[in-house]
Amino acid sequence: MNNMKSNFGFSTIAVGAFALALGLAACGENGMSSTDVSYGTMTDARDGQVYKTVKIGVQTWMAENLNYDYNVGSAKSFCYDNKSKNCDKYGRLYLWPAAMDSAGLFSKTGLGCGVKAVDDNKYGSSCDVNGVVQGVCPDGWHLPSVEEYAYLMYSVAQYYDKDHFAGRVLEAKKGWPSHYKQGTDNLGFTALPAGQVKSDGLSRESIEFSGKDSLAVFWTTNFGREVWLSLRRGYFDYGIYGDGYVPFTKGFSVRCVSDEYSEEIEDDLCVPSDSNIVKDTIVDSRDGQVYSIVTIGEQTWMAQNLNYDNGSGYAGCFEYDINNCKKYGRLYSKTGDGLSGDKANRIQLCPQGWHVPNNEEWNTLFDFVGGADSAGQYLKSSCYWKNGEENRDRFGFSVLPAGHSYIDNALHTDGFNVFGKYASFWSISETCDVENDFWDEEWDEFYYVSFDEHQGVEVSVNEDEVDSRYIRCISSVISDTDPGSSSSVASSSSSSSSVILSSSSEGTSIKDGSKYDASANTLTDLRDNQVYKTVTIGSQTWMAENLNYAYTGVKYNYSSYTSDSTSWCYENKASNCDKYGRLYTWSAVMDSAAQFSVNAGTKCGYGKTCTPNSPHRGICPEGWHVPTNVEYSTLYAYIGGSSTAGSLLKSTSGWNDYYGKSGNGTDKYGFSVLPVGYRRERGHFLNEGYLANLWSASEYSSYGAWYQNFRYDYDYALQNDDYKTYGRSLRCLKD
C-alpha cells in the first residue's frame, strides 16, 4: 500500500437518519447499522488525484469513477467525447484490457487479459485470473469481481430490503434524464451516468460514444461480464451483458474496491433463508474435493455441483475459466463423460456411494418441497440470480445460475449461455433403455432438469448430443429420517434453534372477553381494555384498526435471535404500537400456545401444518376471529374486486409517494390500512411507509402462511405467502 494514502472513517455519519427519511429501518445485528457506513478520501500517488471513498458494510469503495490515464498499445482509456471536462466529471472509460492492466504496469494479476480480443476486434478469449486483480486501480485497491458487486448489492438490500431498490439507492441524485426519477444516493456511492465507448482499440478516430446521462456501467474482473445500473427502475443488476459476451472493444467506467476486505464473500452472500438448515460434508477420495451435502426428506443430496475431472476432455468449466469450476462445478456432456453406455459405469462420475439421479429421484425432491411449480423458488440459491423471483433456498439445495454449454455446429466453437438466469442438471433417465436393441445406442436421449427465472422447474428431453450440463449427485443410501420431515431443517418441537412457542403462564388465568357497540362502531377488548374502531362492509364487520394485544408469556427463539414475546412494536417503539398496532408471528396470530383458542391452534407453528377450527379465534378478542383468504376475497368482491381494493382500503395519509404519485388511498370504507411495514425473523424492521401486511388464517405450507399485501405503488390488494416467522399486522373479523 506504498502508493496510497487513506483516510477511512473520515466523517462517519448516522445512516439511520437516511432510513428514517425513507420510511425504512436499519437491520440490526446482521444488517447495516449507523456505524456500517463511513466516508473518507484516498489519494492516488501515481497522479495525485484525490477520490472520495465510502465504506458500506465491510467493503470500502471509491465513491467516484477512476480517472487514471491508462493507454498502452491497444489497451486504452477515453474521456467521453474526447473532452477532458467529462473525465473531470465522470472519470475515464476503459477498455477491458486497460481495466485489467493487461500490460502489467502495476501487477501481473491481469497480464495479457483481453489484448488479443481487442487487436482482433472480436469477442475474444479470457485469461487465467486467480484471486484479486489490481488492474488499473491504485496500490491497495483492486478491480472488483462480480461477486464483490453482488455483495455490495446484498449489503444494500439488507438495509433497504429489496434488491431492486439498491440501484436507486446507489445512483447519484443528479445527472440522470429529467423524465426519469433521479437516484437517492443514500449511502454516498454516487453512481453517475458516464455512458460507454466503442472502439476498435487501434485508433482514436474509429470510436463511438453513447449513453452519457443515461447509463452507468462498471467493469469487473470476470471474463465477459460487467455491472450496470438501470436508470428505468433503479435495478442494480450484475452478470452477463447481452448474449453472454461483452466485446472487449467497449469501454466502461471503473470503481475500485479496497484490499482491506478481499476475502471470499460467498459464504455470507449465498446463505439459505432458513438459518436452521444443517449441512454436512463429504470428501471425494478420488481428488480430495470437499462437498456440502444436505438431507431433504428421505434423500441426501450434494448441495454443490460436481467438479470431478474424469479425464475425458469433455468436462469443462464455464467459459473455460477454472475459477468457474471452483465455484459452479463442471459442465458434463452426454457423449464424452460416461453418461451414455453401461449404466453400471455411470456411478463412477459421482463419488463412491453416490450416483447421478434419475427422473423419479428428482421428482421425489420436487414433491417434498411443495411441487414442481414452486420447487425452483425454494431450491435456487438466494444470490446471483438475475431478474428472477425472490429465491429463498429454503432447504439449502442452493442451485446457482451457472448457465450451460453447447457447440455451435456452424462455427465449431463452444458457446456458453444464460449465465445468471439458468441452471440445468443431468438426469440418468433415458427416453429409451440402452439395453433395448431396438434403438441404436447413440440416439438414446437423456432427460435433464432446468431452473430459470421463474418459480417452477422443468424436466425435459435433451435432444442435442453436444449440450453440456451440471451434475448433482444423490446418495445411494436412503436416509433413515422421518419421511414427514427433513433432517436438514431442525425440528420445531424442542430444538433451541427453532421457533418455540410455549406458555410460561401455566396454571394462571388470563382475563378474557370483549364488548362490541354497534351504534358507536367500537370494540372493547376486555383482556387489556383497549378500544378499537370497527366498520361494517357488506355482511362483514371488521376491526378498522390493527390488533394491539400484547401476546405475552410466549418467548420467541429463532436460531440465536430471541425475544421475550412473539409480538412487537415496529422498531420496538411503544409509540408505533399506539399508531399501528402490534406485529405478530403467524404462530402468535393462531394462538399456538392455546391461551384463548383451546388447543385449536397448537400445531399452527413453524415447521408444522395444522387444521384450525373455522372460524378460528386465534389471538383475536372473544367473538372475533382471524380472517381467511376467502373472507378477505369476500371483502374485495363487495367493494369492486382486488384490482382496486388497495386504493379503496388504504388510509389517506402515511403512504410514501411513487414516482411523484401519492401512495395514499381513498379509505372509502373507513378500513384505514396503515403502512406499518413488517418484521423479519432476525429482528429487522422494514418498509414503514411502503407496505402493510395483514395475516390470514389460511396456511400455505409447514413453513409459510398467507397474508394480504398492500403497497404504496399498487392499487391492488394482493394475497401472498411468506414465512410464518415474520412479524405482520392482524385485523380481526366479527364471528
Mean pLDDT of all residues in 403-428: 60
> Whole-angstrom Cα distance, residue 67 to residue 647?
49
Cell numbers standing for residue 625: 376471529
- Per-residue 3-state assignment (H helix, E strand, C coil) for 436-468: CCCCCHHHCCEEEEEECCCCCEEEEECCCCCCE
Choose between 210 and 596: higher pLDDT: 210
Cell numbers standing for residue 727: 412479524
What pairs with residue 218 in β-bridges?
227, 253
For 170-212, the pLDDT digits (tens) are 888 888 777 666 778 888 999 998 999 987 655 555 689 998 8
For 608-622, the pLDDT digits (tens) are 788 777 888 888 999
Q: Residue-wise over 5-29: b if at least 16 C-beta within 10 A, else e?
A: ebebeeeeeebbebbeebbbbbbee
Cell numbers standing for residue 619: 389471538
For 518-569, the pLDDT digits (tens) are 999 999 999 889 999 999 999 999 999 999 998 766 666 665 555 656 788 9
What pLDDT, on the 0 to 100 scale, is given for residue 581? 95
| pTM of the predicted model as reported, rounded to 2 decimal places | 0.44
3-state DSSP call for residue 330? coil
Mean pLDDT of all residues in 79-106: 93
Residue 450 burial (CB count, 10 A):
17
> Whole-angstrom Cα distance, residue 704 to residue 701?
5
For 357-392, the pLDDT digits (tens) are 988 899 899 988 888 888 888 898 877 776 544 556
Contacts of 404 (CB under 8 A, 6+ apart): 331, 416, 417, 418, 422, 423, 424, 467, 468, 469, 470
**66, pLDDT greater than 50:** yes
The pLDDT mean for the chain works out to 75
Q: Do the bridges between strand 514-517 and strand 522-525 make them parallel or antiparallel, or are there none, so unpaired?
A: antiparallel
Contacts of 559 (CB under 8 A, 6+ apart): 275, 276, 497, 682
> Whole-angstrom Cα distance, residue 173 to residue 188?
10
> Whole-angstrom Cα distance, residue 732 to residue 319?
56
Crossing angle of the two packed helices 642-649 and 629-638, in degrees rounded to 10: 80
**489, pLDDT greater than 90:** no
> Whole-angstrom Cα distance, residue 317 to residue 321?
6
DSSP conformation class of 573: -
Instruction: Give the least confident one: 375-379, 590-594, 595-599, 696-700.
Output: 595-599
> Whole-angstrom Cα distance, residue 52 to residue 702?
49
**Residue 15 in contact with residue 675, Cβ under 8 Å?**
no
**91, pLDDT greater than 60:** yes
Instruction: Give the least confident one: 416-420, 470-474, 516-520, 600-604.
Output: 416-420
Mean pLDDT of all residues in 405-425: 55
**429, pLDDT greater than 60:** yes
Measured torsion, CA atoms of residues 199, 204, 207, 209, in degrees rounded to the nearest 10 = 110
Place of cell 469443462: 316
**Residue 419 in contact with residue 385, Cβ under 8 Å?**
no
Place of cell 438466494: 382
Choose between 141 and 165: higher pLDDT: 141
**Residue 416 in contact with residue 296, Cβ under 8 Å?**
no
Place of cell 426428506: 297
Q: Do the bridges between strand 93-95 and strand 225-229 make them parallel or antiparallel, or are there none, so unpaired?
A: unpaired
DSSP conformation class of 242: T
Output helix, strand, coil percentages for the chain, rounded to the nearest 5.
15, 25, 55
**Residue 357 in contact with residue 427, Cβ under 8 Å?**
yes
**Residue 86 in contact with residue 79, Cβ under 8 Å?**
yes
Q: Please give the helix or strand (H or E) that residue 699 lies within, else none.
A: strand 691-699
> Whole-angstrom Cα distance, residue 167 to residue 147?
16
- List, as one string, the DSSP characters of 278-328: --EEEE-TTT--EEEEEEETTEEEESS------SSS--B-GGG-HHHHHHH
Choose between 726 and 269: higher pLDDT: 726
**14, pLDDT greater than 50:** no
The sign of the CA dihedral 229, 233, 235, 238 is negative
**347, pLDDT greater than 90:** no
Mean pLDDT of all residues in 409-434: 59
> Whole-angstrom Cα distance, residue 56 to residue 159?
10
What pLDDT, on the 0 to 100 scale, is given for residue 602? 59
> Whole-angstrom Cα distance, residue 646 to residue 35?
37
Phi, psi of 255 (to 5 degrees): -115, 125
Q: Please give the helix or strand (H or E) that residue 179 lies within, else none.
A: none
- Strand-by-strand arrangement of the 446-451 sheet: 423-430, 446-451, 457-461
What pLDDT, on the 0 to 100 scale, is given for residue 174? 84
What pLDDT, on the 0 to 100 scale, is given for residue 603? 67
Q: Do the bridges between strand 718-723 and strand 704-711 make them parallel or antiparallel, or are there none, so unpaired?
A: antiparallel
What pLDDT, on the 0 to 100 scale, is given for residue 163? 40
